[in-house]
């Protein structure tokens, strides 16, 4: 019934929990039985009340001989029908809840896969091209898929038994008349659903055409200067009148389609209940038992409802299939970075970090790095610059293997970092982003990341090293203060120092620091300048700087241009010898840059 193999796999008997599915089906079957019993009891009570001397009434009264009056019989059957209805509602609600819980469990497993995949994919998205993909499939697509799976399971588990039991009850009451009346009810219920989908598709097409015509008319308003300047008023008015007529024609066609949709639905509903009503009326006038004639209409109404719900299953499977395909495409993406078989422990940087003939292309096939060679020795403070942020950021991201080069090698002490495990590499080469968020946890947990091998004392020492301890102790609960969405909100400088403390607590041999682009206050700048000096002891640091003071404090500046190293030296050297470096400095720090941006 599903148009998507992925959706079929999600709702197949092999993947669904058999116990809960069987329980839902059993509850729905009992609920359908009780509903049929309630209908028959109600009609029996009505027959006794309205025609106490009829044959049907006497038959009913024979089952309840202890009751002495038609009113007593009516009250007893009404109470029985009410109890059946109440139990039907409860059992049907439990069955739906079980179906919804099954769907929720399926989506929970899918979200776990999405989360794991996002942790592998998102660090490599340096340009932010796929920044919205994981949130979209995790939240919007998964939530919509859960609704479709729940509706599909509910239809199978509740509507199907209801259809079967109602049909069986109708056949027991009056077999020939039940068949004559049920056929038009079932057919019209299916036709109503199909016609509704067809009309909705036609309305959507016409609605798109109406919006397109409206946009075309709005766009003409932006041509006023050219029209006035070249004396094109008459031509523009004539064209606008034509567009306006087309717009009204499409609006009229849309309204006509909507009226046709309502008329078709009304005609089909009339046929669905008019034909059975006519058949029942003819049979009643021919002397058919009153009980059967009164029992069939509510059963047919239930039959129509159950058929209508089952007719929606293809829609749910089709829409759910599209969502399942979208999620599957995301989960099937191949991460650019993976740990090779047989990878071993990678020792910390002890001598040199080498980039050997590094090439890298962005997703739009732009060559960002092209045969780049660079050698960095232990203990250096290196500023990595490029006119656009991406080349320098891409090169820095290769060190902890957030991305891998298209070709070339990154070597630590002569060993290709791809030969080491990701865990050992990222333990000793840490990337601190300029706008890294905090986690929904305490300050201490944000620094230790929950690792038991990092004690509170070590976290405090790391915070002191980067001048975060003072503001942390001023928080309401010091290191136990909750941060994140439901906790205390920190400013950019405070979040950045928390990220620095998180990195410093691990005492890495190699630290890549991307400074925040957002403005920092003078006190934060001064503390960061001192923190850079403290962090530099016995450690190699690579900066992606946003402040000129940081660049000047580095022992070495590397400028990347056209995919290669275009300049390499100190600030004083490059100011004199490198036109590209002077241009980089002018772009970011000349006093009139804000006026140019505003202009």
| Range with the poorest average pLDDT among 77-81, 101-105, 112-116, 356-360 | 77-81
114-119's contacts with Cβ under 8 Å and 24+ in sequence apart are 114/138, 114/142, 114/327, 114/330, 114/331, 117/330, 117/331, 117/333, 117/335
398 or 593: which leads in pLDDT = 398
Fold adopted by 352-598 = Rossmann fold (3.40.50)
* Region for residue 450 given its phi and psi (left: phi exceeds 0; alpha: psi -120 to 50; beta: otherwise): left
- Higher-scoring residue by pLDDT: 30, 43: 30
The span from the CA of 587 to the CA of 386, in Å, is: 11
pLDDT of residue 582: 93
pLDDT band at 432 (very low <50, low <70, confident <90, very high): very high
Asked which of 116-130, 211-225, 331-345, 505-519 is least confident by mean pLDDT, the reply is 211-225
Token pair, residue 165, equals 């039991």
**C-alpha–C-alpha distance, residues 378 and 362, integer Å:** 30
The answer, yes or no, to whether residue 57 has pLDDT greater than 70, is no
Tell me if 203 sits within 8 A of 257, measured CB to CB.
yes
In this structure, what token pair is assigned to residue 303? 């039959």
How long a stretch of residues is the chain?
599
Do residues 292 and 174 touch, judged by C-beta distance below 8 A? yes
Q: What pLDDT does residue 47 have?
A: 60
Q: Which residues contact 592 (CB under 8 A, 6 or more apart)?
A: none
Q: Give pLDDT, residue 547.
A: 93
pLDDT digits (tens, 9 = 90+) for 290-320: 666 777 778 878 888 888 888 888 888 888 9
* Average confidence (pLDDT) over 4-17: 80
Per-residue pLDDT for 145 more than 60? yes
Contacts of residues 323-328 at CB distance under 8 Å and 24 or more positions apart, as own/partner, are 323/141, 323/142, 323/144, 323/145, 323/148, 324/4, 324/6, 324/7, 324/10, 324/145, 325/4, 325/6, 326/137, 326/141, 327/6, 327/110, 327/114, 327/137, 327/141, 327/142, 327/145, 328/6
**In the prediction, which pLDDT does 499 show?**
95
Q: What is the 3-state secondary structure (H, E, C) of 213-266?
A: HHHHHHHHHCCHHHHHHCCCHHHHHHHHHHHHHHHHHHHHHHHHHHHHHHHHHH
pLDDT for 56 = 45
Task: Quote the pLDDT of residue 266.
Answer: 76
Mean pLDDT value of segment 430-437: 92
Report, as an integer, the average pLDDT of 230-259. 74
Is the pLDDT score of 356 beyond 80?
yes
Among 32-41, 154-163, 297-306, 507-516, the range of highest mean pLDDT: 507-516
Cα 275 vs. chain centroid, distance in angstroms? 47
Q: So what's the pLDDT on residue 598?
A: 38
Predicted confidence band of residue 409 (pLDDT cuts 50, 70, 90): very high
Average pLDDT, the chain: 84
For residue 434, the surrounding DSSP H or E stretch is none
Q: What gap in Å lies between CA 294 and CA 54, rounded to an integer?
A: 14
* Consecutive H or E run containing 205: helix 175-221
What digits encode the pLDDT tens for the residues 438-463? 988 999 999 998 888 999 999 999 99
- What secondary structure does DSSP assign to 256-322, as a single string? HHHHHHHHHHHHHHHHHHHHHHHHHHHHHHTT--HHHHHHHHHHHHHHHHHHHHHHTHHHHHHHHHH
pLDDT higher than threshold 60 for residue 105: yes
| pLDDT, tens only, 521-573 | 999 999 999 999 999 888 999 999 999 999 999 999 999 999 999 999 999 99
The pLDDT value given to residue 53:
47
Edge-to-edge strands, sheet with 407-412: 367-377, 352-361, 407-412, 415-416
Residue 586 has pLDDT above 70, yes or no: yes
Q: pTM of the full predicted structure?
A: 0.79
Task: Give ∠ CA 406-409-412 in degrees, rounded to 5.
Answer: 145
Residue 514: pLDDT band (50, 70, 90) is: very high
Element (H or E) spanning 368, and its range?
A: strand 367-377
HEC string of 389-433 equals HHHHHHHHHCCCCCCCCCEEEEEECCEEHHHECHHHHHHHEEEEC
Exposure string of 359-383, with b = 16+ CB inside 10 Å and e = fewer, is ebbeeeeeebbbebebebebebbbb
- Which one has a higher pLDDT value, 276 or 447? 447
270 pLDDT exceeds 60? yes
pLDDT at residue 361 in the model: 93
Cβ neighbours, 10 Å, residue 115:
11
Contact yes or no for 6/324 (Cβ under 8 A): yes
The pLDDT, as a whole number, for residue 370 is: 95
**pLDDT tops 60 at residue 63:** no
- Which residues, 6+ apart, have CB-to-CB distance to 396 below 8 Å? 384, 431, 512, 514, 542, 544
Mean pLDDT is highest, among 21-30, 128-137, 503-512, for 503-512
In whole angstroms, what is the distance from residue 462 CA to residue 502 CA? Answer: 7
- Checking if the pLDDT of 247 tops 90, the result is no
Contact indicator for 34, 87 with CB cutoff of 8 Å = yes
pLDDT score at 73:
62
Instruction: State mean pLDDT over 416-422.
Output: 94
Whole-number pLDDT of residue 127: 82
Task: Say what the pLDDT of residue 390 is.
Answer: 94
Query: Which whole number is the average pLDDT over 31-45?
Result: 79
For position 292, what pLDDT does the model report?
64
pLDDT at 397: 95
| 180 closest CA partner among 311, 312, 264, 281 | 281
pLDDT at residue 188 tops 60: yes
SS3 assignment for 543-594: EECCCHHHHHHCCEEEEEECCEEEEEECHHHHHHHCHHHHHHHHHHHCCCHH
- HSE-CB for 79 with a 13 A CA cutoff: 6
Q: CA separation (Å) from 190 to 17, 187, 292, 591?
A: 30, 5, 26, 72
What does the pLDDT look like over 204-240, one tens digit per residue?
A: 776 777 677 777 666 666 666 676 777 777 777 777 7
Report the distance separating Cα 517 and Cα 519, nearest Å.
6
All CATH 3.40.50.300 domain ranges in the chain, comma separated: 352-598
Which residues contact residue 113 at a Cβ distance below 8 angstroms, ignoring those fewer than 6 apart?
A: 331
Residue pair 305/297 in contact (Cβ under 8 Å)? The answer is: no
* SS3 label, residue 201: helix
- pLDDT band at residue 379, thresholds of 50, 70 and 90? very high
CB atoms closer than 10 angstroms to residue 147: 16
Spatial separation of the C-alpha atoms in residues 116 and 138, rounded to whole Å: 11
Sheet of strand 540-544, all strands in order from the earlier edge strand to the far edge: 429-432, 510-514, 540-544, 381-386, 556-561, 564-569
């Amino acid at each position: 019934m599903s148009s998507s193999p992925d959706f079929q796999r999600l709702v197949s008997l092999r993947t669904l929990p058999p116990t809960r599915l069987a329980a839902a089906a059993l509850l729905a079957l009992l609920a359908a039985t009780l509903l049929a019993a309630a209908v028959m009891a109600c009609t029996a009570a009505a027959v006794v009340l309205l025609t106490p001397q009829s044959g049907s009434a006497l038959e009913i009264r024979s089952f309840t001989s202890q009751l002495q009056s038609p009113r007593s019989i009516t009250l007893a059957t009404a109470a029985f029908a009410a109890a059946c209805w109440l139990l039907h509602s409860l059992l049907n609600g439990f069955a739906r809840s079980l179906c919804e819980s099954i769907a929720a469990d399926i989506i929970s497993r899918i979200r776990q896969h999405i989360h794991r995949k996002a942790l592998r994919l998102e660090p490599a998205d340096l340009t932010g091209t796929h920044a919205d993909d994981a949130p979209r499939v995790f939240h919007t697509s998964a939530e919509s898929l859960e609704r479709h799976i729940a509706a599909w399971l509910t239809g199978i588990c509740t509507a199907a038994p209801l259809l079967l039991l109602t049909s069986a009850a109708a056949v027991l009451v009056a077999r020939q008349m039940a068949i004559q009346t049920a056929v038009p009810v079932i057919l019209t219920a299916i036709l109503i659903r199909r016609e509704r989908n067809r009309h909705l598709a036609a309305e959507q097409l016409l609605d798109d055409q109406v919006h397109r015509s409206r946009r075309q008319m709005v766009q003409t308003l932006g041509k006023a200067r050219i029209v006035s300047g070249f004396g094109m008023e008459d031509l523009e008015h004539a064209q606008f009148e034509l567009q306006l007529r087309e717009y009204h024609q499409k609006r009229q066609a849309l309204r006509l389609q909507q009226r046709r949709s309502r008329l078709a639905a009304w005609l089909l509903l009339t046929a669905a209940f008019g034909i059975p009503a006519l058949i029942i009326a003819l049979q009643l006038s021919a002397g058919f038992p009153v009980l059967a004639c009164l029992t069939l209409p509510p059963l047919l109404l239930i039959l129509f409802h159950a058929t209508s719900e089952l007719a929606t299953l293809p829609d749910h499977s089709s829409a759910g299939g599209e969502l399942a395909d979208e999620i599957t495409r995301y989960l099937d993406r191949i991460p650019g970075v993976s740990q090779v078989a047989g990878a071993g422990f990678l020792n910390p940087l002890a001598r040199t970090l080498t980039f050997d003939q590094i090439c890298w292309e962005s997703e739009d096939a732009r060559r960002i790095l092209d045969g780049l060679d660079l050698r960095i020795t232990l203990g250096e403070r290196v500023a990595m610059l490029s006119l656009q942020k991406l080349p320098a950021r891409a090169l820095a991201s290769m060190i902890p293997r957030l991305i891998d080069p298209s070709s070339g090698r990154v070597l630590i002490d002569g060993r290709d970092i791809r030969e080491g495990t990701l865990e050992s590499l990222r333990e000793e080469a840490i990337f601190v982003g300029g706008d890294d968020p905090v986690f929904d946890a305490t300050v201490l947990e944000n620094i230790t990341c929950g690792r038991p091998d990092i004690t509170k004392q070590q976290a405090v020492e790391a915070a002191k090293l980067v001048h975060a301890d003072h503001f942390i102790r001023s928080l309401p609960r010091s290191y136990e203060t909750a941060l994140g969405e439901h906790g205390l909100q920190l400013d950019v400088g405070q979040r950045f120092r928390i990220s620095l403390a998180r990195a410093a607590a691990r005492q890495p041999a190699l630290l890549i620091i991307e400074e925040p682009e957002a403005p920092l206050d003078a006190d934060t700048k001064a503390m960061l300048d001192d923190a850079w000096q403290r962090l530099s002891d016995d450690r190699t640091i690579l900066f992606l700087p946003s402040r000129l003071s940081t660049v000047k404090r580095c022992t070495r500046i590397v400028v990347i241009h056209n995919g290669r190293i275009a300049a390499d030296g100190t600030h004083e050297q490059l100011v004199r010898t490198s036109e590209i470096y002077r241009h980089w400095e002018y772009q970011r720090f000349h006093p009139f840059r804000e006026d140019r941006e505003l202009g």
